């Protein structure tokens, strides 16, 4: 159950991920540990529902970031780690979920349908599809919201963190719209040239078809 063509597009995530190429992925581990601890505390049902399928290992591949993630859903100590895309440990994953970072977050938080992402070619799945379906079903009913869940654990720091988070969200949305405008401005001339070439090819094919039809209709001369 895979679709080829999950390619990164110009986006704030792609640009923000460029500095990560020069940094070791381990610097993200404290943040990843916080996320997993928050999810285990606020959504224990997600992990309980996955215990019946063993200890699946997922590779999560955000195509617009220079790092991948390994998610080990063990019953006692589930863990999320960041690795470089060429790390040999990624081969230990039984299932691979690949797509843009924003789409993966939408899937985690249940804000979009995984099937819709798949058929729109924004998401590809490889390997143990049963484990992926089990993970999706566990997430669908959990009502996860990473920002909200972490803010509820922040205590007295919640108000300033909420303000900063809201500001960052608005900046991200504005940057995404601006980059979309830039992408369209760059691609539109090429699209117009391709459309013109396609139209010219259609006209040429039409003329050839007319010539061939005329040849077939022309009566043969008697010897």
139 and 188 belong to one structural domain: no
* Mean model confidence pLDDT for the chain: 77
**Between 29-42 and 146-153, two packed helices, what is the crossing angle to 10 degrees?**
90
Looking at the predicted structure, is the pLDDT value of residue 12 above 60?
yes
41 and 141 belong to one structural domain: yes
pLDDT of residue 163: 65
Residue 207: give the domain boundaries.
169-217
Residue at 161 is within a domain: no
Q: How far apart are CA 215 and CA 217, in angstroms?
A: 6
Q: How far apart are CA 46 and CA 44, in angstroms?
A: 5
Give percent of the chain with pLDDT exceeding 90.
9
Do β-strands 57-62 and 95-99 pair in parallel, antiparallel, or remain unpaired? parallel
Residue 70 makes CB contacts below 8 A (sequence gap 6+) with 57, 58, 59, 60, 80, 81, 83, 89, 90, 92, 93
**Between 158-217 and 146-153, two packed helices, what is the crossing angle to 10 degrees?**
170
pLDDT of residue 58: 92
Residue 83's pLDDT band (cuts 50, 70, 90)? very high
CATH number for the domain including 62?
3.30.1050.10
Residue at 205 is within a domain: yes
pLDDT of residue 64: 86
102 and 191 belong to one structural domain: no
Residue 61's pLDDT band (cuts 50, 70, 90)? very high
Residue at 81 is within a domain: yes
pLDDT of residue 3: 43
SS3 sequence, the chain? CCCCCCCCCCCHHHHHHHHHHHCCHHHHHHHHHHHHHHHHHHCHHHHHHCHHHCCCEEEEEECCCCEEEEEECCCCCCEEEEEECCCHHHHHCCEEEEECHHHHHHHHCCCCCHHHHHHCCCCEEEECHHHHHHHHHHHHCCCCCHHHHHHHHCHHHHHHHHHHHHHHHHHHHHHHHHHHHHHHHHHHHHHHHHHHHHHHHHHHHHHHHHHHHHHHHCCCCCC
Tally of domains in the chain: 2
- The pLDDT of 156-170, averaged and rounded, is 62
Looking at the predicted structure, is the pLDDT value of residue 4 above 50?
no
Give percent of the chain with pLDDT exceeding 70.
73
pLDDT of residue 96: 93
Looking at the predicted structure, is the pLDDT value of residue 143 above 90?
no
Task: Please count the residues of the chain.
Answer: 223
> 152 φ, ψ to 5°?
-70, -20
120 and 45 belong to one structural domain: yes
Residue at 71 is within a domain: yes
147/156: higher pLDDT:
147
Furthest C-alpha separation in the chain: 104
- The pLDDT of 21-46, averaged and rounded, is 87
Looking at the predicted structure, is the pLDDT value of residue 158 above 70?
no
117 and 201 belong to one structural domain: no
Residue at 223 is within a domain: no
pLDDT digits (tens, 9 = 90+) for 86-135: 898 888 888 999 988 888 888 887 777 767 777 777 788 899 888 888 88
pLDDT of residue 59: 93
- The pLDDT of 51-62, averaged and rounded, is 85
Looking at the predicted structure, is the pLDDT value of residue 223 above 60?
no
């Amino acid at each position: 159950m895979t679709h080829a063509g999950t390619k990164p597009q110009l986006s704030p995530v792609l640009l923000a991920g460029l500095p990560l190429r020069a940094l070791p992925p381990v610097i993200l581990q404290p943040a990843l540990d916080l996320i997993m601890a928050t999810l285990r505390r606020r959504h224990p049902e997600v992990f309980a529902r996955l215990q019946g399928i063993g200890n699946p290992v997922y590779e999560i591949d955000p195509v617009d970031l220079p790092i991948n993630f390994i998610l080990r859903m063990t019953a006692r100590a589930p863990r999320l780690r960041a690795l470089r895309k060429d790390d040999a440990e990624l081969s230990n994953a039984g299932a691979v979920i690949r797509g843009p970072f924003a789409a993966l977050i939408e899937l985690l938080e249940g804000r979009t349908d995984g099937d819709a992402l798949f058929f729109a070619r924004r998401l590809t799945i490889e390997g143990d599809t049963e484990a992926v379906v089990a993970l999706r079903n566990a997430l669908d009913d959990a009502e996860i919201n990473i920002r909200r869940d972490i803010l509820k654990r922040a205590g007295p720091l919640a108000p300033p963190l909420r303000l900063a988070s809201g500001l960052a969200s608005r900046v991200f949305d504005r940057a995404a719209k601006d980059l979309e405008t830039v992408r369209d401005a760059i691609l539109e001339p090429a699209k117009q040239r391709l459309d013109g070439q396609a139209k010219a090819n259609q006209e040429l094919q039409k003329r050839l078809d007319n010539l061939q039809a005329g040849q077939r209709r022309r009566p043969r001369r008697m010897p």
